[in-house]
Structure 1
Amino acid sequence: MKYCAFLRGVNVKGTNMKMADVCQVFKDAGMADVISILASGNVVFSSGKKVEELKKILEKAMSEHFSYEAFLFVKSQEEVENVWNGNPFEKNENLHSYAFIGNDGVENILMQEFEKASKTGSEDAKIVNNIFYWQVPKGNTLDSTFGKILGKKSLKDQFTSRNINTFEKILNKF
């Protein structure tokens, strides 16, 4: 079965790794057809194992190889397609749209945090099929109140986010 692993915290805040090395770790852990998409920690691969088992195997392998506490989320090709197809926002050259991959129920936590945060006029969030989507003006992602909340230590193992365009690139590699 085809999967995509979404690594959290790759190539930010001192956790730097080459995607070729990440792919090798995946291969050494028994994954097949391994390729990376962008340098933000997206790895497409094949395996006959179940998601829960893959998550444990890959987090352990990544943690040991790179000497950091790895967090990743594994989604099937169908789940990645659902994220792409569920995007509620129209394409707008002035806005970035993000989708969040995470633990069950994290979309509700994110929505509560979003609702409490101060927002720009065109900033918006929606939950579609248990997936949290966020749209923010370009250049404001990290400076927005909600963007700062996303960096909380208490949330770090709960989710990871990707620009919606990344999902299209991942689907093209499946």
Structure 2
Amino acid sequence: MRIALLLRGVNVGGVTVRSADLRALLADAGLDDVVTVLASGNAVVTATDARGAARAAEAALERRYGRRIRVLGIAIDDLAAIVEAYPHAEDDAHTPYVVFALEPGVAAALARLEQGDGEAVAAGSDPRGHGVVHWSNPKGTTLTSAFAKALERTAKDAVTTRNLRTLRKVLAAA
């Protein structure tokens, strides 16, 4: 089955994981047909199950970089359903995101966080049971909006966030 692997906290001030290194590392971890997408910690692999693929990737990353790098593994069909369910309008004035909870209960709490002017937040479902949050914010406010600040304070290490456009590129690479 094709599985998307989304690494948390790489290439954004933490550990730098180059695409070529990630491809080699995942292949050495026993994952097949590895394709990386952009330089932001995204890969698509073939494996028997998403959780197992994520665990294999996390173990390989920890051996290579000496620290835990959380990895979300999600079946491509499930990722496509999450992208398709994005409820907010997409326009040139806003940036569309999906916030993936890495732990149970986090998404519901995030959906209740404060939102700023022009922001929209909606809880969504995810087959892992951890949930997602669909977030739209005015361009240029990704780090400074009310929701972004609340997200940083309350769930920084318990989520990984992707631009909806990036997720569409991950799906296209599958």
Fold match (TM-score > 0.5): yes
- Give the residue type in structure 2 aligned to 1:158: A
User: Measured at CA, do residues 35 and 85 of structure 1 come closer, stay the same or move farther in structure 2, by a change above 3 Å?
Assistant: same
For the Cα contact (< 8 Å) 1:88–1:128, is it kept in 2? no
1:30-45 paired onto structure 2 within 5 Å: 30-45=30-45
2:167 aligned partner:
167
2:62 aligned partner:
63
Aligned residue pairs total: 168
**Could you tell me how far apart the structure 1 residues matched to 2:169 and 2:145 are?**
26
Aligned to 1:83, the other structure's residue is in SS state helix
For the Cα contact (< 8 Å) 1:83–1:167, is it kept in 2? no
User: Measured at CA, do residues 64 and 156 of structure 1 come closer, stay the same or move farther in structure 2, by a change above 3 Å?
Assistant: farther
Gaps of 5+ in 2: 126-130
**Could you tell me how far apart the structure 1 residues matched to 2:124 and 2:16 are?**
32
Superposition deviation, residue 151 in structure 1: 2.6
Superposition deviation, residue 66 in structure 1: 1.6
**Could you tell me how far apart the structure 2 residues matched to 1:27 and 1:106 are?**
31
In the superposition, the TM-score normalised over structure 2's length comes to 0.89
Superposition deviation, residue 155 in structure 1: 2.5
For the Cα contact (< 8 Å) 2:8–2:71, is it kept in 1? yes
Gaps of 5+ in 1: none
2:7 aligned partner:
7
**Could you tell me how far apart the structure 2 residues matched to 1:167 and 1:24 are?**
22
Superposition deviation, residue 118 in structure 1: 5.1
